[in-house]
Structure 1
Amino acid sequence: MGRGGRGFIDNLAALPWPVGLCVGSVGYLAVAHGIPLLFARNSAMPGAFRDLNPFLPLAWVFLGLCMIAAGMSFFRARNTRRLLDTRTGLDSMAALGWRDFERLVGEAFRRRGYAVEETGLGGADGGIDLVLRREGRRILVQCKQWRRERVPVNVVREMYGLLAHHRADEVRIAALVGFTPDAARFAAGKPIALIDGPALLAMIRQEQRTGGAAKGVQARGEPAISAKGPKDSSAPTCPRCDTAMVRRSNRRTGETFWGCPAFPMCRGTRIF
């Protein structure tokens, strides 16, 4: 269901739980005291609002709804944290429902310092599932939990078309099984990061090891734990998928550079 079909509680519950409490408190004061004060100033009988406040029940109802939304947000955030902390491998990710898989991907990016919006536009068949924001950049994310099929090139083309339509900076597609060779070739050289199961698992394991500390580390672009190959404390993160990079060498020139361990699904590189 799209965001436009959500109710007030659902929209408020999608925000951090302190926001719900703040909205409820401000709304209660406005309805219980602000509106009666406004009416009293413009009424010929100001004492009537002092003796009987007809807006007080409405204020309590509004506060109660906001508290319900805040409670939903709190427990949802706690369950999402547990969702990431309890993943042990690709099989445990495959066992999730598609919506939990989206939340898992969102939590992995959230711990890396991104502001994550769950759009609700994707649904079970894909589309824009998440919108990431950090340092002025806006990134569209699609999550594919297909268990038997690799993501074909037409799906990548569709997401690339949404890049310009939504004026975003980059597209990222997380797919449990991976991508076809045609999809990888199409994404090469474009602002498209293809994140397969092993690369996603590497992100999750890194966040499990670092707890919440990785959020600040990734925001500064400092080194992380590599998904493949020996650990290197000096390794930067991939500019496309945020996975810790590994040392590689150009076979023709012998030049050393940093490469993404998810190659060829992700072709991010950095100069050594």
Structure 2
Amino acid sequence: MHIEWAGEIMAKKNDGIIWHLMDAPWWLSLIVAAIVYISLSVVLPALAKGTGNLVFDAIAPNLSLIAPYLTFLFLVPTPIAFIKQFKRRRQFSSTTSEIAHRGTTEPLKSLTWLEFESYIGEFFKQQGYEVKQAFSQKPDGGVDIWMRKDGELTLVQCTHWKTRKVGIPILREMYAVMIEHSASKMIVVTSGDFTSEAVKYALDKKLWLINGGDLVNMIELAQHCRTEAKTKAELPAEPELICPSCHSTLVKRTAKRGDNKGRAFYGCSAYPRCRYTKNIGVM
């Protein structure tokens, strides 16, 4: 984990560090507590002795006395963070299973906006991203999730609107935030949909729009890929098919809606950025 990156996120919030540690990985509290204890009981008293400063000389002997109390304070978030993370992973698993079973956005709409943000963060973790998110009731400056993969920074804004559509004003704000932080792209995720004007606005920019339908398809695709990976070793190797549009790998999928419901087809693994499909048996 990049400690400096976590610090950058925390600096953008007005909540206290204890609250942030409750939403950070549980082991981070242990690291912070250890640093506090060593600093107060060993490092700072040693440094104070060499300064010749009367104030430091008076404070130094007391630092080791308060070290256990402050250390305990920073240990308090550890069990809370562990329980929160366990609940998030369990909710992610149950919601994903329900989405895969029903093939609709209804399970997403039943989540609160913080649960939706948590779900999106867990989803991208499953895709190999290093995810940082600081859950807060306060404004976040347009960034809900900070992610890194292959050395590139990606920002995510989650909009959990059940009736309204996301329009151009929000995308303009997100585009400015992306430029401000020199991110490779900004992903805007909504459980609903975008206006047609918003979709056109994002076409020539590094804005990746994911609506509720796209998200359901991405979840189903991820589930399918994980299932395939488990059984691949037991099956004879098949020639890898390449998407002629973007050169990503094609994967087998089954249509769950529309006129072709129940029919197998090949879909691009880069969906929704690439929507190429091919019927099974078509060369």
Distance 1:150 1:19, change over 3 A: same
CA positional deviation for 1:112: 1.0
Distance 1:114 1:152, change over 3 A: same
Q: 1:70-219 counterparts in 2 under 5 A? A: 70-87=78-95, 88-89=98-99, 90-118=105-133, 127-206=142-221, 210=226
Q: 1:17-96 counterparts in 2 under 5 A? A: 17-38=26-47, 54-87=62-95, 88-89=98-99, 90-96=105-111
1:40 & 1:193 partners in 2: Cα distance? 56
CA positional deviation for 1:78: 1.4
1:2 & 1:31 partners in 2: Cα distance? 23
Of the structure 1 ranges 145-154 and 102-111, higher mean CA displacement relative to structure 2 is found in 145-154
2:131 & 2:220 partners in 1: Cα distance? 19
Structure 1, unpaired ranges of 5+ = 44-52, 215-220, 250-255, 257-272
AA in 1 matched with 2:174:
M
Q: Tell me the TM-score normalised to structure 1 length.
A: 0.69
Of the structure 1 ranges 195-204 and 92-101, higher mean CA displacement relative to structure 2 is found in 195-204
1:19 & 1:72 partners in 2: Cα distance? 12
1:163 & 1:19 partners in 2: Cα distance? 28
2:163 & 2:141 partners in 1: Cα distance? 16
CA positional deviation for 1:195: 0.6
Matched, 1:230 2:245: no
Cα displacement string for residues 96-117 of structure 1 (whole angstroms, at most 9, x for unaligned residues): 1111111111111112111222
Q: Identity percentage over the alignment?
A: 26
Distance 1:31 1:122, change over 3 A: closer
Structure 2, unpaired ranges of 5+ = 1-9, 53-60, 100-104, 231-247, 256-262
CA contact (8 A) 1:236 1:245 kept: no
Cα displacement string for residues 195-252 of structure 1 (whole angstroms, at most 9, x for unaligned residues): 11122123334555639x89xxxxxx877775857364x9432485xxx864269xxx
Distance 1:27 1:184, change over 3 A: same
Distance 1:152 1:40, change over 3 A: closer
CA positional deviation for 1:136: 2.0
Q: Tell me the TM-score normalised to structure 2 length.
A: 0.67
CA positional deviation for 1:120: 5.6
Aligned residue pairs, count = 232
CA contact (8 A) 1:108 1:203 kept: no
CA positional deviation for 1:170: 0.9
AA in 2 matched with 1:60:
P
1:131 & 1:40 partners in 2: Cα distance? 42
CA positional deviation for 1:10: 2.0
The structure where helix makes up a greater share of residues is 2
CA positional deviation for 1:125: 10
1:140 & 1:122 partners in 2: Cα distance? 19
DSSP-derived class of the 1:189 partner: coil
DSSP-derived class of the 1:128 partner: coil
1:227 & 1:194 partners in 2: Cα distance? 24
Distance 1:28 1:208, change over 3 A: farther
Question: Which residue of the partner structure matches residue 247 of structure 1?
Answer: 277
